[in-house]
Amino acid sequence: MIVVASSNGRIGINAATEILRQGGTAVDAVEAGIRLVEANPEDHSVGYNGYPNILGEVELDASMMNGRTLESGAVGALKGYVHAITLARQVMERLPHVLLVGDGASRFAAEMGHVPQPEMLQPETRTVWANCLRANMSDSDIEAIGERTDLARWVELATDPERTKGTVNFIAQDKNGNICTGVSTSGWAWKYPGRLGDSPIIGAGNYADNRYGAAACTGMGEMAIRASTAHSLVFYLKMGLSLAEASERAMADLRDLGGRYISVMNLVAIDKEGNHAGYSSAEDRSYIYQTPDMPECEELPRTVVSIPPRWGKTGLQRI
Ligand code: ASP
Protein backbone atom coordinates (compact mmCIF):
# COMPACT_ATOMS: atom_id res chain seq x y z
CA MET A 1 0.00 0.00 0.00
CA ILE A 2 1.29 3.42 -0.89
CA VAL A 3 0.31 6.96 -1.82
CA VAL A 4 2.58 8.97 -4.13
CA ALA A 5 1.92 12.64 -4.94
CA SER A 6 3.39 15.79 -6.37
CA SER A 7 4.85 17.87 -3.54
CA ASN A 8 1.83 20.22 -3.41
CA GLY A 9 -0.19 17.14 -2.37
CA ARG A 10 1.34 17.37 1.12
CA ILE A 11 -1.86 18.89 2.53
CA GLY A 12 -3.84 15.82 1.46
CA ILE A 13 -1.49 12.85 1.64
CA ASN A 14 -2.16 12.02 5.31
CA ALA A 15 -5.89 11.80 4.68
CA ALA A 16 -5.30 9.61 1.64
CA THR A 17 -2.94 7.30 3.55
CA GLU A 18 -5.37 7.05 6.45
CA ILE A 19 -8.02 5.71 4.09
CA LEU A 20 -5.66 2.96 2.95
CA ARG A 21 -4.68 2.27 6.57
CA GLN A 22 -8.37 1.74 7.38
CA GLY A 23 -8.67 -0.73 4.49
CA GLY A 24 -10.28 1.76 2.07
CA THR A 25 -9.87 1.80 -1.68
CA ALA A 26 -7.28 3.53 -3.82
CA VAL A 27 -10.11 5.47 -5.51
CA ASP A 28 -11.34 6.85 -2.18
CA ALA A 29 -7.79 7.68 -1.10
CA VAL A 30 -7.00 9.64 -4.26
CA GLU A 31 -10.25 11.59 -4.16
CA ALA A 32 -9.85 12.49 -0.47
CA GLY A 33 -6.26 13.64 -0.92
CA ILE A 34 -6.97 15.79 -3.95
CA ARG A 35 -10.10 17.40 -2.46
CA LEU A 36 -7.95 18.92 0.30
CA VAL A 37 -5.59 20.42 -2.28
CA GLU A 38 -8.52 21.76 -4.33
CA ALA A 39 -9.93 23.49 -1.23
CA ASN A 40 -6.59 25.10 -0.32
CA PRO A 41 -6.66 28.81 -1.29
CA GLU A 42 -2.86 28.99 -0.97
CA ASP A 43 -2.39 26.68 -3.95
CA HIS A 44 -2.87 28.78 -7.08
CA SER A 45 -2.49 25.85 -9.43
CA VAL A 46 -5.46 23.74 -8.30
CA GLY A 47 -9.14 24.24 -7.45
CA TYR A 48 -10.40 27.21 -5.44
CA ASN A 49 -8.35 30.38 -5.96
CA GLY A 50 -6.37 28.81 -8.79
CA TYR A 51 -4.98 31.23 -11.36
CA PRO A 52 -7.61 32.09 -14.00
CA ASN A 53 -7.60 32.10 -17.78
CA ILE A 54 -6.82 35.29 -19.69
CA LEU A 55 -10.38 36.55 -19.13
CA GLY A 56 -9.97 36.22 -15.36
CA GLU A 57 -12.19 33.12 -15.13
CA VAL A 58 -11.05 30.00 -13.25
CA GLU A 59 -11.38 26.89 -15.44
CA LEU A 60 -10.56 23.55 -13.82
CA ASP A 61 -9.39 20.28 -15.40
CA ALA A 62 -9.27 16.92 -13.59
CA SER A 63 -9.25 13.21 -14.23
CA MET A 64 -9.31 9.90 -12.42
CA MET A 65 -8.42 6.43 -13.66
CA ASN A 66 -9.18 3.13 -11.96
CA GLY A 67 -6.35 0.71 -12.74
CA ARG A 68 -8.46 -2.34 -11.95
CA THR A 69 -10.95 -1.79 -14.76
CA LEU A 70 -9.29 1.02 -16.75
CA GLU A 71 -12.50 2.99 -16.20
CA SER A 72 -11.81 6.70 -16.36
CA GLY A 73 -13.56 9.99 -15.81
CA ALA A 74 -12.52 13.53 -16.57
CA VAL A 75 -13.77 17.09 -16.66
CA GLY A 76 -12.30 20.05 -18.52
CA ALA A 77 -12.77 23.83 -18.43
CA LEU A 78 -15.14 23.43 -15.48
CA LYS A 79 -16.38 26.78 -14.15
CA GLY A 80 -18.08 27.62 -10.87
CA TYR A 81 -17.30 24.49 -8.84
CA VAL A 82 -14.29 23.60 -6.68
CA HIS A 83 -14.10 19.82 -6.56
CA ALA A 84 -13.24 18.84 -10.11
CA ILE A 85 -11.78 15.51 -8.95
CA THR A 86 -15.07 14.42 -7.39
CA LEU A 87 -16.87 15.35 -10.57
CA ALA A 88 -14.31 13.38 -12.61
CA ARG A 89 -14.99 10.38 -10.38
CA GLN A 90 -18.73 10.84 -10.89
CA VAL A 91 -18.26 10.94 -14.66
CA MET A 92 -16.41 7.63 -14.30
CA GLU A 93 -18.99 6.02 -12.02
CA ARG A 94 -22.31 7.56 -13.07
CA LEU A 95 -22.08 8.06 -16.82
CA PRO A 96 -21.21 5.92 -19.83
CA HIS A 97 -18.83 8.76 -20.85
CA VAL A 98 -15.23 9.58 -20.00
CA LEU A 99 -14.86 13.34 -20.55
CA LEU A 100 -17.24 16.28 -20.00
CA VAL A 101 -16.21 19.87 -20.67
CA GLY A 102 -17.44 23.42 -20.17
CA ASP A 103 -21.17 24.01 -19.70
CA GLY A 104 -21.89 20.28 -19.76
CA ALA A 105 -19.45 19.69 -16.91
CA SER A 106 -21.03 22.50 -14.84
CA ARG A 107 -24.48 21.17 -15.58
CA PHE A 108 -23.44 17.70 -14.39
CA ALA A 109 -21.91 19.21 -11.22
CA ALA A 110 -25.24 20.84 -10.41
CA GLU A 111 -27.04 17.58 -11.12
CA MET A 112 -24.67 15.72 -8.77
CA GLY A 113 -25.41 18.21 -6.00
CA HIS A 114 -22.05 20.03 -5.94
CA VAL A 115 -22.16 23.36 -4.12
CA PRO A 116 -21.69 26.20 -6.63
CA GLN A 117 -18.82 28.60 -5.98
CA PRO A 118 -19.63 31.67 -8.09
CA GLU A 119 -16.49 33.52 -6.97
CA MET A 120 -13.58 31.15 -7.44
CA LEU A 121 -10.93 33.85 -6.94
CA GLN A 122 -9.86 35.69 -3.82
CA PRO A 123 -9.33 39.43 -4.46
CA GLU A 124 -5.50 39.22 -4.18
CA THR A 125 -5.40 36.55 -6.85
CA ARG A 126 -7.55 38.68 -9.14
CA THR A 127 -5.04 41.47 -8.56
CA VAL A 128 -2.14 39.20 -9.57
CA TRP A 129 -4.01 38.43 -12.82
CA ALA A 130 -4.77 42.11 -13.49
CA ASN A 131 -1.20 43.18 -12.68
CA CYS A 132 0.22 40.60 -15.07
CA LEU A 133 -1.96 41.91 -17.87
CA ARG A 134 -1.31 45.51 -16.85
CA ALA A 135 2.39 45.10 -17.66
CA ASN A 136 1.36 45.06 -21.32
CA MET A 137 -2.26 46.28 -21.50
CA SER A 138 -4.01 49.49 -20.48
CA ASP A 139 -6.71 49.38 -17.79
CA SER A 140 -9.40 49.97 -20.41
CA ASP A 141 -8.01 47.07 -22.46
CA ILE A 142 -8.25 44.84 -19.39
CA GLU A 143 -11.81 45.95 -18.62
CA ALA A 144 -12.91 45.14 -22.15
CA ILE A 145 -10.91 41.98 -22.47
CA GLY A 146 -14.05 39.84 -22.84
CA GLU A 147 -14.88 41.60 -26.10
CA ARG A 148 -11.47 41.30 -27.73
CA THR A 149 -11.06 39.39 -30.94
CA ASP A 150 -7.26 39.13 -30.66
CA LEU A 151 -6.91 37.06 -27.48
CA ALA A 152 -4.44 34.69 -29.15
CA ARG A 153 -1.86 37.44 -29.27
CA TRP A 154 -2.33 38.35 -25.64
CA VAL A 155 -2.20 34.74 -24.46
CA GLU A 156 1.21 34.41 -26.01
CA LEU A 157 2.24 37.58 -24.23
CA ALA A 158 1.06 36.59 -20.78
CA THR A 159 1.90 32.93 -20.52
CA ASP A 160 5.16 32.14 -18.83
CA PRO A 161 5.99 28.44 -18.79
CA GLU A 162 8.19 28.83 -15.74
CA ARG A 163 5.86 30.80 -13.51
CA THR A 164 2.25 30.18 -14.19
CA LYS A 165 1.54 26.50 -13.99
CA GLY A 166 1.06 23.66 -11.53
CA THR A 167 -1.12 20.64 -10.91
CA VAL A 168 -1.64 18.02 -8.23
CA ASN A 169 -0.97 14.33 -8.93
CA PHE A 170 -2.00 11.49 -6.61
CA ILE A 171 -1.38 7.78 -7.19
CA ALA A 172 -2.56 5.23 -4.61
CA GLN A 173 -2.30 1.45 -4.40
CA ASP A 174 -4.60 -0.21 -1.87
CA LYS A 175 -4.44 -3.49 0.05
CA ASN A 176 -5.91 -5.40 -2.88
CA GLY A 177 -3.20 -4.11 -5.22
CA ASN A 178 -5.67 -1.82 -6.97
CA ILE A 179 -4.15 1.36 -8.33
CA CYS A 180 -5.88 4.68 -8.90
CA THR A 181 -4.48 7.92 -10.31
CA GLY A 182 -5.98 11.38 -9.94
CA VAL A 183 -4.93 14.71 -11.39
CA SER A 184 -6.46 18.14 -10.77
CA THR A 185 -5.44 21.61 -11.93
CA SER A 186 -6.53 25.11 -12.81
CA GLY A 187 -4.14 24.74 -15.74
CA TRP A 188 -1.88 27.40 -17.08
CA ALA A 189 -2.56 30.84 -15.77
CA TRP A 190 -3.84 33.27 -18.41
CA LYS A 191 -4.52 30.41 -20.83
CA TYR A 192 -6.86 30.84 -23.78
CA PRO A 193 -10.48 30.19 -22.65
CA GLY A 194 -11.40 26.57 -23.23
CA ARG A 195 -7.83 25.35 -23.36
CA LEU A 196 -7.45 21.84 -21.92
CA GLY A 197 -4.09 20.60 -20.70
CA ASP A 198 -2.94 17.05 -20.13
CA SER A 199 -4.71 16.69 -16.78
CA PRO A 200 -8.16 15.72 -18.18
CA ILE A 201 -6.70 13.69 -21.05
CA ILE A 202 -6.42 10.01 -20.14
CA GLY A 203 -3.07 8.71 -21.33
CA ALA A 204 -1.50 12.18 -21.36
CA GLY A 205 -1.53 13.44 -17.76
CA ASN A 206 -2.87 10.30 -16.13
CA TYR A 207 -2.84 6.54 -16.67
CA ALA A 208 -3.23 3.51 -14.39
CA ASP A 209 -3.27 -0.20 -15.08
CA ASN A 210 -3.05 -2.62 -12.13
CA ARG A 211 -1.16 -5.11 -14.26
CA TYR A 212 1.83 -2.79 -14.78
CA GLY A 213 1.69 0.47 -12.81
CA ALA A 214 0.64 4.09 -13.14
CA ALA A 215 1.91 7.54 -14.01
CA ALA A 216 0.76 11.15 -13.72
CA CYS A 217 2.21 14.41 -15.00
CA THR A 218 2.61 18.06 -14.16
CA GLY A 219 4.21 20.72 -16.31
CA MET A 220 3.50 21.83 -19.85
CA GLY A 221 0.43 19.76 -20.60
CA GLU A 222 0.66 20.24 -24.35
CA MET A 223 3.89 18.23 -24.32
CA ALA A 224 2.35 15.34 -22.38
CA ILE A 225 -0.63 15.33 -24.77
CA ARG A 226 1.67 15.15 -27.80
CA ALA A 227 3.83 12.37 -26.34
CA SER A 228 0.98 10.49 -24.54
CA THR A 229 3.36 10.53 -21.61
CA ALA A 230 1.44 8.77 -18.83
CA HIS A 231 0.33 5.97 -21.14
CA SER A 232 3.79 5.67 -22.69
CA LEU A 233 5.41 5.17 -19.33
CA VAL A 234 2.94 2.42 -18.40
CA PHE A 235 3.37 0.89 -21.85
CA TYR A 236 7.14 0.78 -21.33
CA LEU A 237 6.51 -1.06 -18.03
CA LYS A 238 4.29 -3.47 -19.97
CA MET A 239 7.17 -4.06 -22.37
CA GLY A 240 9.24 -5.26 -19.42
CA LEU A 241 11.29 -2.16 -18.63
CA SER A 242 12.04 -1.33 -15.02
CA LEU A 243 10.34 1.70 -13.44
CA ALA A 244 13.51 3.78 -13.86
CA GLU A 245 13.96 2.73 -17.50
CA ALA A 246 10.30 3.34 -18.31
CA SER A 247 10.39 6.79 -16.69
CA GLU A 248 13.58 7.72 -18.52
CA ARG A 249 12.11 6.59 -21.86
CA ALA A 250 8.95 8.64 -21.26
CA MET A 251 11.06 11.71 -20.41
CA ALA A 252 13.27 11.10 -23.48
CA ASP A 253 10.14 11.09 -25.69
CA LEU A 254 9.31 14.54 -24.29
CA ARG A 255 12.87 15.74 -24.84
CA ASP A 256 12.74 14.64 -28.49
CA LEU A 257 9.59 16.64 -29.32
CA GLY A 258 10.04 19.23 -32.04
CA GLY A 259 8.18 22.50 -32.38
CA ARG A 260 8.40 25.97 -30.90
CA TYR A 261 6.97 25.45 -27.43
CA ILE A 262 8.94 23.24 -25.08
CA SER A 263 9.03 23.81 -21.33
CA VAL A 264 9.29 21.97 -18.01
CA MET A 265 7.76 18.52 -17.55
CA ASN A 266 7.49 16.40 -14.42
CA LEU A 267 6.08 12.96 -13.71
CA VAL A 268 5.44 10.61 -10.81
CA ALA A 269 4.99 6.88 -11.31
CA ILE A 270 4.69 3.54 -9.58
CA ASP A 271 5.06 -0.02 -10.80
CA LYS A 272 2.72 -2.83 -9.77
CA GLU A 273 5.00 -3.72 -6.85
CA GLY A 274 4.49 -0.23 -5.44
CA ASN A 275 8.00 1.01 -6.23
CA HIS A 276 7.84 4.76 -6.87
CA ALA A 277 9.69 7.34 -8.93
CA GLY A 278 9.64 11.06 -9.63
CA TYR A 279 11.24 12.72 -12.67
CA SER A 280 11.57 16.31 -13.81
CA SER A 281 13.28 18.28 -16.51
CA ALA A 282 14.02 21.00 -13.93
CA GLU A 283 16.50 20.98 -11.05
CA ASP A 284 15.38 20.94 -7.42
CA ARG A 285 11.91 19.44 -7.91
CA SER A 286 10.58 16.91 -5.42
CA TYR A 287 7.69 14.51 -4.87
CA ILE A 288 6.24 12.84 -1.79
CA TYR A 289 5.12 9.38 -0.79
CA GLN A 290 3.64 7.75 2.29
CA THR A 291 2.89 4.16 3.29
CA PRO A 292 0.47 3.25 6.09
CA ASP A 293 3.32 2.49 8.51
CA MET A 294 4.72 6.04 8.09
CA PRO A 295 3.28 8.77 10.37
CA GLU A 296 4.21 11.47 7.83
CA CYS A 297 5.11 11.55 4.18
CA GLU A 298 8.69 11.59 2.96
CA GLU A 299 9.85 14.10 0.35
CA LEU A 300 12.32 12.88 -2.28
CA PRO A 301 14.18 14.70 -5.05
CA ARG A 302 13.04 14.00 -8.59
CA THR A 303 15.57 12.52 -10.98
CA VAL A 304 16.47 15.13 -13.61
CA VAL A 305 16.30 14.43 -17.33
CA SER A 306 17.26 17.61 -19.13
CA ILE A 307 14.82 19.01 -21.73
CA PRO A 308 16.18 22.26 -23.19
CA PRO A 309 13.32 24.82 -23.19
CA ARG A 310 12.20 26.75 -26.30
CA TRP A 311 9.50 29.39 -26.25
CA GLY A 312 8.01 30.92 -29.38
CA LYS A 313 9.42 33.90 -31.19
CA THR A 314 7.06 36.83 -30.90
CA GLY A 315 9.39 39.53 -29.68
CA LEU A 316 6.77 40.41 -27.06
CA GLN A 317 7.92 40.79 -23.49
CA ARG A 318 6.88 37.86 -21.33
CA ILE A 319 5.68 38.56 -17.81
N1 ASP B 1 -0.10 20.25 -16.64
C2 ASP B 1 -0.89 21.40 -16.35
C3 ASP B 1 -1.51 21.91 -17.60
O4 ASP B 1 -0.88 21.85 -18.65
C5 ASP B 1 -0.16 22.53 -15.72
C6 ASP B 1 0.99 22.17 -14.84
O7 ASP B 1 1.06 21.10 -14.32
O8 ASP B 1 1.87 23.00 -14.64
O9 ASP B 1 -2.59 22.43 -17.52
- Indicate the pairing of strand 99-101 with strand 71-78: parallel
Model confidence at 137, pLDDT cuts 50, 70, 90, reads confident
The verdict on the CB of residue 166 being under 6 Å from ligand 1 is yes
d(CA 91, CA 117): 20
Closest atom of ligand 1 to CA, residue 266: 7
pLDDT at 165: 63
d(CA 71, CA 65): 6
The mean pLDDT of the chain is 93
Residue pair 247/303 in contact by the 8 Å Cβ criterion:
yes
Q: Is the pLDDT of residue 19 over 90?
A: yes
From ligand 1's centre to the CA of 165, what distance in Å?
A: 5
From ligand 1's centre to the CA of 184, what distance in Å?
A: 9
Residue pair 58/46 in contact by the 8 Å Cβ criterion:
no
pLDDT at 315: 37
DSSP for 277-317 reads EEEESSTT-EEEEE-TT-SS-EEEEPEE-----EE----PP
DSSP for 101-143 reads EHHHHHHHHHHTTPPP-S--S-HHHHHHHHHHHHTTS-HHHHH
pLDDT at 309: 87
Q: What is the pLDDT of residues 245-283, one digit of tens each?
A: 999 999 999 999 998 888 899 999 999 999 999 999 999
d(CA 82, CA 154): 27
pLDDT at 311: 78
Q: List CB contacts of 269: < 8 A, sequence separation 6 or more.
A: 4, 171, 213, 214, 215, 216, 233, 243, 246, 247, 276, 277, 278, 279
Q: Is the pLDDT of residue 108 over 60?
A: yes
d(CA 278, CA 300): 8
From ligand 1's centre to the CA of 205, what distance in Å?
A: 9
The verdict on the CB of residue 187 being under 6 Å from ligand 1 is yes
d(CA 245, CA 179): 20
3-state secondary structure of 164: coil
Question: Mean pLDDT across the stretch 112-120?
Answer: 95
d(CA 78, CA 75): 7
3-state secondary structure of 33: helix
Q: List CB contacts of 214: < 8 A, sequence separation 6 or more.
A: 65, 67, 171, 179, 180, 181, 207, 208, 230, 234, 269, 270
Q: What is the pLDDT of residues 178-191, one digit of tens each?
A: 999 999 999 988 89
The verdict on the CB of residue 218 being under 6 Å from ligand 1 is yes
Share of the chain above pLDDT 70, in %: 95
pLDDT at 164: 59
Question: What would the CATH number be for the domain defined by 2-311?
Answer: 3.60.20.30
pLDDT at 317: 37
Share of the chain above pLDDT 90, in %: 80
Other residues' Cβ atoms within 10 Å of the Cβ of residue 276: 22
Please state, in angstroms and as integers, the Cα–Cα distance from residue 157 to each residue in 147, 196, 243, 262, 264, following that order.
Answer: 18, 19, 38, 16, 18
Question: Mean pLDDT across the stretch 106-132?
Answer: 93
Question: Mean pLDDT across the stretch 50-63?
Answer: 95
Closest atom of ligand 1 to CA, residue 191: 9
Q: What is the pLDDT of residues 221-255, one digit of tens each?
A: 999 999 999 999 999 999 999 999 999 999 999 99
Q: Is the pLDDT of residue 318 over 50?
A: no
Sequence spans of domains, the chain: 2-311
Q: Is 303 one of the annotated active-site residues of the chain? A: no
Other residues' Cβ atoms within 10 Å of the Cβ of residue 315: 5
Q: Is the pLDDT of residue 52 over 60?
A: yes
Please state, in angstroms and as integers, the Cα–Cα distance from residue 257 to each residue in 41, 162, 242, following that order.
Answer: 35, 18, 23
Other residues' Cβ atoms within 10 Å of the Cβ of residue 308: 7
pLDDT at 135: 80
When mean pLDDT is compared across 158-167, 219-228, 302-311, the lowest value belongs to: 158-167
pLDDT at 149: 86
From ligand 1's centre to the CA of 2, what distance in Å?
A: 24
Q: Is the pLDDT of residue 94 over 60?
A: yes
**Sign (positive/negative) of CA torsion 117, 118, 119, 120?**
positive
Model confidence at 319, pLDDT cuts 50, 70, 90, reads very low
3-state helix, strand, coil in the chain (%, to 5): 35, 25, 45
pLDDT at 132: 84
